[in-house]
Copies of this chain bind each other. A is one copy, B any other.
Amino acid sequence: MPMDHPPSRTPARVKDRPTWLISRTFARSSGLLAAGFESYGRGLRSYHYRLLAALDEWGPASQADLGRGTGIDRSDVTAALSELESLRLVERSVDPEHRRRNIVTITPAGVEQLLELDNVIDGIQEQVLKPLTHAQRRQFIALMVKLLAAEDESSKG
């Protein structure tokens, strides 16, 4: 048997690379989020949460605007809204001024669910960042913001 000692978890060439570290950090983060959604989210997932958040913050909106505003693909907006509607967390009606469009509105139950999810998700931020000091947390966040701001600049260019 050629492998006569247990290998390290990750080949050395892979494990120190930033792209790998980012992916493992994301895996941990999304794993905790998925667990949180599963425990408290009544089958809701990230897409649902983002759409509820958008509706609460921006007010009634068309599906196309929701898609553009959240970055979620149109077909996924449709699918997630159908699920939210069946849970009575949103309502959809045809826009009388533009009959091609639906106007989507969050319901009071939707607002309530959003606040619950906020709490869950806030707790998960704590969990994800637990190993870091408060200063390190601010640092980590600032670095990611910088990474992403540069991308925003280049995509607007």
Contact = CB atoms under 8 A, between A and B. Distances in A.
A30 B23 contact: yes
B129 A146 contact: no
Given A7-B58, A19-B121, A95 B1 contact: yes
Contacts of A118: 13
B12 A141 contact: no
Nearest to A25: B144
Contact of A25 (B13, B22, B28, B125): B22
B136 A14 contact: no
Given A3-B62, A118-B13, A128-B18, A140 B137 contact: no
Given A17-B125, A26-B26, 14 more contacts: A2-B60, A3-B61, A6-B68, A6-B69, A9-B70, A13-B53, A14-B50, A18-B29, A19-B33, A19-B121, A23-B30, A128-B147, A131-B147, A132-B147
20 contacts: A2-B61, A3-B59, A3-B60, A7-B57, A9-B70, A9-B71, A10-B70, A11-B53, A14-B50, A18-B29, A18-B129, A21-B145, A22-B25, A22-B26, A23-B29, A23-B30, A28-B148, A132-B143, A136-B146, A140-B140
